[in-house]
Amino acid sequence: MVPLSWYLILSAILFCLGVFGFLLKRNIITIFMSIELMLNAVNLTFVAFANYWSEHGLKLALSGHVFVFFVMVVAAAEAAVGLAIIIAVFRTRETLNVDRVNLLKL
Amino acid sequence: MTHNLNLWVIPLLPLAGAAINGLFGRHFKNAVVSFIALFFTALSFAWAVWAVWSAWPGGPIPLPHIESFGTWITAGSFSAPFGFYLDQLSMVMVLVVTGVGFLIHIYSVGYMAHEGGFYRFFAYLNLFMFFMLTLVLANNYLLMFVGWEGVGLASYLLIGFYFLRDSAADAGKKAFIVNRIGDFAFLIGMFLLIQHFGTLSYDHVFNALKDAQKFPVDAGWGFLTITAICLLIGATGKSAQIPLYVWLPDAMEGPTPVSALIHAATMVTAGVYMIARSHAIFNLAPNALHIVFVIGCVTALFAATMGIAQTDIKRVLAYSTVSQLGYMVLACGAAAYAAGIFHLMTHAFFKALLFLGSGSVIHAVGGEQDMRRMGGLRTKIPVTFWTMTIATFTISGFWPMAAFFSKDEILAAVYRSPYAGHLLWAIGVITAGLTAFYMFRLWFMTFFGELKLGAVDVGEEAHAAAAPAHASHASASHSHGHADDQSHGHGGVHESPWIMLAPLVILAALSIVGGWVGVPKFLGGHNEFDRFLAPVMEQSRTSIAEGAAALQNTEAPAAPPEEKSTTEWVLTGMSVLAAVLGLFFAWLLYYKRPDLPDRITAKIHGIYLTVLHKYYIDEGYNLLFVKPLLALSTLVFWRGIDQGIIDGLVNGAGSASKGIGNELRRMQSGNIRSYAAWVAAGGAAVIAYMIWLGVSK
């Protein structure tokens, strides 16, 4: 049996990778992927806790799983909207470098 | 209430006149304005006469007659009503105020005919009547205070009537500010009354004071004495007594009818009225009464000496007013309140006459107020001359003029008074002599000799002394009205129109007969006036002797010793002698040997200068109070507190938020990664905080 803390540590590592990727990368696509990474790190935490509670007495600890589905739905919607924005930005700026996109308008 | 006299009508009629003239007078012709003003004042006078007639003592209406119109202020257990109070004292005051006021209104129609702001003048004058009547009719101190402040306001407005002239505006401010000092003390006196009686109504306070157990004679400096002193300071402000008299001479900047009505006949007597009204308090506080006594006496003498050297005709009368008010206060100090009110009434007649007469003189000579440029007006303005003559003889106290009786009664009362009576009596007689001297000086300088209009070079020092008043007076007050007169020189001296002379004649008649209501016993009269006021002053007769006795730790005499009539004859003889001496010296110096005054003043130059400059009191006050206050206000209150602290706080708050905003602006770079870094830092801070919370548990 894998202990809960291992899942949490992995999740924290993934989340920090996402944060640093978000802060350090210049390409919007990479930043976008870093966000996905953070979201999935959080999903991992949810699942880990759901698993942990169902092993420790709670027969139907489904709320963690449900949250994960919600997050995945939101992430999918975000990907759809976000990619559309990225395409719009690329069309006007012809670049995906966020440092060039700092005028708070298209 | 079975008997309803509708006393509220008396003050409200002039208020209606003031409202109509003040709001719409701008669009009216002068004739309409004067009709409105005269109509409402006359109606008020008629109503007052009717009310006094109906409530005459011995009639069906018990006195004091109180009419209440509801509660004005309620605060906890304290409440102040709107109510009017008619007793013998307020009867006298109401008749004097409405009667003399009406005459002066008539006179003003003629006097102000050529002046700008005609409607404004009459609106203020009617407003003054309203407040003055509120003052004398009020049934509690608070309502009296409303009138008290209101007449101060009207006085301010009318002194500064020629507001384009700096000296007039300054004089108005001076009057207002000096009065404020007195009003402050009056307020404190009222607070003390509320503290100890829980009410300000006359009848409640005076009834409570009748309880000798609860309120014994205050021989020390207890609350009754302090209250009385506070009220006295209030009275010194309004009635121009030392040390607050300084505003009255400057108040002569106002038009002459104003000087007659407000600064001679009515408003300045409010202080005397207030002391007489509060006699129940003063009688129980012999120390305070003593102070009243001394203040009245010193003011009477001091002002009379200042009157001697003045050359501006209205200023002579102003100092004379201060001096005569001193007499009234002196009478109150001797607990002869009835005598004080008697003199108040006769003074209202003859001093109003003197002022109106001087106004007529000024009118005749085209705005000149310096007596050294007048002279020989006897034949040119005969009606004015004769009425002024009557007034001069009256104020000097010649038999059988009004002031003879009133002044005599005061001096006799002072002589009988338990505190140092004889010395103060002597000062009173000397003052009477000085009064006769400066009044006949005025009379000789104005009406005898030769007219010197514009011909005399008045000495330089005199100019310096009278500078603020006279330089501007001569030019501004009348010149626009009488420019045509001045253009054809001396021939332009003319008698005033009858609308101005009629009040003079009526007042002259009153100045003669006005004293006959108070002929003392030893001259074959019954002193009706004293007996009329006796019910109001009842308490004073018994308790003044007790007061003096308590002060000296002796037994109260069983009854005030009755003076022998020979003593009274001697006293009267002395004061008449003083008046005759005054007349003689004035005749000698200003008629027979007109060169003598200059030689005398040259000999006693220092003293003369001191008197001419009014003992440098104004300068002294300037140095002692005005300058330090100005410096304190400038350095501490303005530069220090206002600019430093208050402005500093406001400006500091502004520049601080500007600076912080300037720094925070840098966060909004538009750079996504910096935003993300802030979010991450914030998240990290929150997580750190939560971990710290968990650890500390």
CA distance B145 to B328: 21
Mutate: best of B668, B669, B672, partner A, most A CBs <10 A: B672
Please check the confidence at residue B344 and state whether its pLDDT lies above 90. yes
Mutate: best of B668, B673, B679, B691, partner A, most A CBs <10 A: B673
* Token reading at B533: 């006021």
* Total Cβ atoms within 10 A of residue B594: 15
CA-CA-CA-CA torsion sign (B464, B470, B474, B477): positive
Please check the confidence at residue B686 and state whether its pLDDT lies above 90. yes
Query: What is the pLDDT confidence band of residue B655, given thresholds at 50, 70 and 90?
Result: very high
* Residue whose C-alpha is closest to residue B49's, from B106, B7, B3, B105: B7
CA distance B108 to B118: 10
* Token reading at B647: 């402005």
* Chain B CB contacts of A22 below 8 Å: 673, 676
Query: What is the pLDDT confidence band of residue B152, given thresholds at 50, 70 and 90?
Result: very high
Please check the confidence at residue B251 and state whether its pLDDT lies above 80. yes
* Token reading at B130: 């309203």
Would you state the torsion angle of the CA atoms of residues B411, B412, B414, B420, taken in this order, to the nearest 10 degrees? 120
Chain B, nearest residue to A21 by Cα = B673
> Average pLDDT for residues B383-412, to the nearest whole number?
88
CA of A47 to nearest chain B CA: how many angstroms apart?
21
**How many residues appear in chain A?**
106
CA of A99 to nearest chain B CA: how many angstroms apart?
7
Q: What is the pLDDT of residue A43?
A: 94
Q: What is the pLDDT of residue B464?
A: 40
Chain B, nearest residue to A15 by Cα = B680
* Residue whose C-alpha is closest to residue B517's, from B528, B533, B531: B528
* Chain B CB contacts of A104 below 8 Å: 670
Q: What is the pLDDT of residue B219?
A: 76
* Chain B CB contacts of A19 below 8 Å: 680
Average pLDDT per block of 10 residues along chain A, 106 residues long: 90 93 90 92 92 80 87 93 91 84 68
Q: Determine phi and psi for B140, rounding to 5 degrees.
A: -150, 160
| DSSP H or E run through B564 | none
CB spacing of B671 vs A102 below 8 angstroms? yes
Q: What is the pLDDT of residue B480?
A: 39
Q: What is the pLDDT of residue B220?
A: 78
Q: Model confidence over B326-340: pLDDT tens digits?
A: 999 999 888 888 889
CA of A86 to nearest chain B CA: how many angstroms apart?
14
CA distance B516 to B509: 12
Q: Model confidence over B12-29: pLDDT tens digits?
A: 999 999 999 999 988 888
Would you state the torsion angle of the CA atoms of residues A47, A51, A57, A58, taken in this order, to the nearest 10 degrees? 40
Q: Determine phi and psi for B201, rounding to 5 degrees.
A: -70, 135
CA of B683 to nearest chain A CA: how many angstroms apart?
11
* Token reading at B439: 């009044």
By Cβ distance, the residue of B669, B676, B677 closest to A102 is B669
CB B36 within 8 A of CB B121: no
* Total Cβ atoms within 10 A of residue B527: 20
Beta bridge partners of B65: B86
Query: What is the pLDDT confidence band of residue B478, given thresholds at 50, 70 and 90?
Result: very low
* Total Cβ atoms within 10 A of residue A52: 16
* Token reading at B54: 């109906």
| DSSP H or E run through B81 | strand B78-86
Please give the residue that has the higher pLDDT: either B485 or B655.
B655
> Average pLDDT for residues B137-143, to the nearest whole number?
92
CB spacing of A104 vs B670 below 8 angstroms? yes
Beta bridge partners of B74: B79
Chain B, nearest residue to A25 by Cα = B673
> Average pLDDT for residues B628-651, to the nearest whole number?
90
CA distance B542 to B544: 6
A→B interface, C-beta within 8 Å: 19, 22-23, 31, 98-99, 101-104
Share of chain B above pLDDT 70, in %: 90
Please check the confidence at residue B679 and state whether its pLDDT lies above 70. yes
Q: Model confidence over B516-573: pLDDT tens digits?
A: 888 877 777 777 888 888 887 765 545 555 555 555 554 444 444 455 677 778 888 8
3-state DSSP assignment of residue A57: coil
* Token reading at B353: 């006459």
* Chain A CB contacts of B677 below 8 Å: 23
Query: What is the pLDDT confidence band of residue B471, given thresholds at 50, 70 and 90?
Result: very low
* Chain A CB contacts of B682 below 8 Å: none
Angle at Cα B316 formed by Cα B124 and Cα B173, nearest 5°? Answer: 40
* Residue whose C-alpha is closest to residue B98's, from B193, B5, B11: B11
CB spacing of A102 vs B676 below 8 angstroms? no
B→A interface, C-beta within 8 Å: 669-673, 676-677, 680
Q: What is the pLDDT of residue B420?
A: 64
CA distance B50 to B66: 16
Interface A-B: count of C-beta contacts within 8 A: 20
Query: What is the pLDDT confidence band of residue B392, given thresholds at 50, 70 and 90?
Result: very high
3-state DSSP assignment of residue B370: strand
Q: What is the CA radius of gyration of chain B?
A: 30
Chain A, nearest residue to B683 by Cα = A19
* Token reading at B174: 């001076």
* Chain A CB contacts of B672 below 8 Å: 31, 98, 101-102
Please check the confidence at residue B457 and state whether its pLDDT lies above 70. no
Greatest CA separation for chain B: 116
CB spacing of A22 vs B676 below 8 angstroms? yes
Q: What is the pLDDT of residue B466?
A: 41
CA distance B183 to B382: 43
Among the ranges given (A81-95, B200-214, B381-395, B653-667), the one the predictor scored with the smallest mean pLDDT: B200-214
Is residue B604 packed enough to be buried (19+ CB in 10 Å), middle (13-18) or exposed (0-12)? exposed
Instruction: In chain A, count H helices and then E strands.
Output: 3, 0
> How is residue B367 annotated by DSSP?
S
* Chain B CB contacts of A31 below 8 Å: 672
Q: What is the pLDDT of residue A97?
A: 86
Mutate: best of A23, A32, A97, A104, partner B, most B CBs <10 A: A23
Q: Determine phi and psi for B394, rounding to 5 degrees.
A: -65, -50
CB spacing of B672 vs A102 below 8 angstroms? yes
Q: What is the pLDDT of residue B454?
A: 61
Mutate: best of A17, A25, A26, A102, partner B, most B CBs <10 A: A102
Please give the residue that has the higher pLDDT: either A105 or B82.
B82
CA of B669 to nearest chain A CA: how many angstroms apart?
8
CA of B656 to nearest chain A CA: how many angstroms apart?
28
CB spacing of A102 vs B680 below 8 angstroms? no
By Cβ distance, the residue of B673, B677, B680 closest to A98 is B673
Please check the confidence at residue B396 and state whether its pLDDT lies above 80. yes
* Residue whose C-alpha is closest to residue B135's, from B84, B171, B95, B101: B84
What's this model's pTM, rounded to 2 decimal places?
0.78
By Cβ distance, the residue of A23, A31, A103 closest to B670 is A103
CB B391 within 8 A of CB B425: no
Q: What is the pLDDT of residue B682?
A: 94
By Cβ distance, the residue of B669, B670, B680 closest to A23 is B680
Q: Across all residues in chain B, what is the average pLDDT?
A: 84
Please check the confidence at residue B150 and state whether its pLDDT lies above 80. yes
By Cβ distance, the residue of A19, A23, A102 closest to B670 is A102
Q: What is the pLDDT of residue B125?
A: 93
- Residue showing tokens 């209205």: B314
By Cβ distance, the residue of B672, B677, B680 closest to A98 is B672
All domains of chain A in start order, with CATH: 4-93 (1.10.287.3510)
* Token reading at B628: 């330090």
> How is residue B377 annotated by DSSP?
T
Among the ranges given (B30-44, B209-223, B353-367, B649-663), the one the predictor scored with the smallest mean pLDDT: B209-223
CB spacing of B670 vs A98 below 8 angstroms? no
Chain A, nearest residue to B678 by Cα = A23
* Residue whose C-alpha is closest to residue B441's, from B527, B347, B319: B319
Q: Model confidence over B561-577: pLDDT tens digits?
A: 455 677 778 888 888 88
CA distance readout (Å), B461 to B276, B310, B575, B612, B621: 42, 12, 34, 9, 21
Q: Model confidence over B171-197: pLDDT tens digits?
A: 999 999 999 999 999 999 999 999 888
By Cβ distance, the residue of B669, B670, B677 closest to A23 is B677
CB A7 within 8 A of CB A45: yes
- Residue showing tokens 């001093």: B351
CB A71 within 8 A of CB A78: no
Q: Model confidence over B92-121: pLDDT tens digits?
A: 999 999 999 999 999 999 998 888 888 999
> Average pLDDT for residues B441-460, to the nearest whole number?
73
